[in-house]
Amino acid sequence: MTKHLQLRYTVALGACLGAPAFAAGLGVGVEIPRLDVAEYHRPYVAAWIERPDATVATTLAVWYDVKMKNAEGAKWLKDMRQWWRRTGRELELPIDGVTGPTRPVGKHQMQFTEGTNPLAKLPAGEYKLVVEAAREVGGRELVTIPFTWPAPKAAQLSAKGSTELGQVTLDLKP
């Protein structure tokens, strides 16, 4: 083999090995709106993927007051009624990589990759992204976005809340 040909193979092999792997995934955007109220508390938020029979396939995120003494913040998780009844009361919190502190007003992004938690065992099928928010001295709201997994093509889906949640987006990457 000539040095020129050997160099081309080396460069081609290096390009293949150095190229990033583009795994399927999804991105979730959650907007916490600014509310004009006398007493404002950051909302507790849960995001999960639900099967057509309304069972929970996986929990993506749970934002609550994790720093309260004696884990007292967890006792208010039941205010997110749908999430709590479907899966929350069965979980041992906190969950590494899923639970986190409440978020301030603004847009917040989460990214998930196929084959890694919490998408590690999500089989192909029809699902709904569900995002629920509940706020002390405030309301409760649920937003859903139906989708197919894995995504046949890249897509951005969205739904808008009316009180406790703003725009919720779902970015699907095949």
CB atoms within 10 A of CB 79: 18
Mean pLDDT of all residues belonging to the chain: 88
pTM reported for the whole predicted model? 0.85
Structure tokens at 29: 């955007």
Structure tokens at 141: 């709201």
- Average pLDDT of the segment spanning 5-29: 58
The domains of the chain, with CATH numbers, are 24-173 (2.60.40)
| Res 99 pLDDT > 70 | yes
pLDDT, tens digit, 9 for 90 and up, residues 35-69: 999 999 999 999 999 999 999 999 999 999 987 77
The answer to whether residues 132 and 145 touch, using CB atoms and an 8 Å cutoff, is: no
| Res 77 pLDDT > 90 | yes
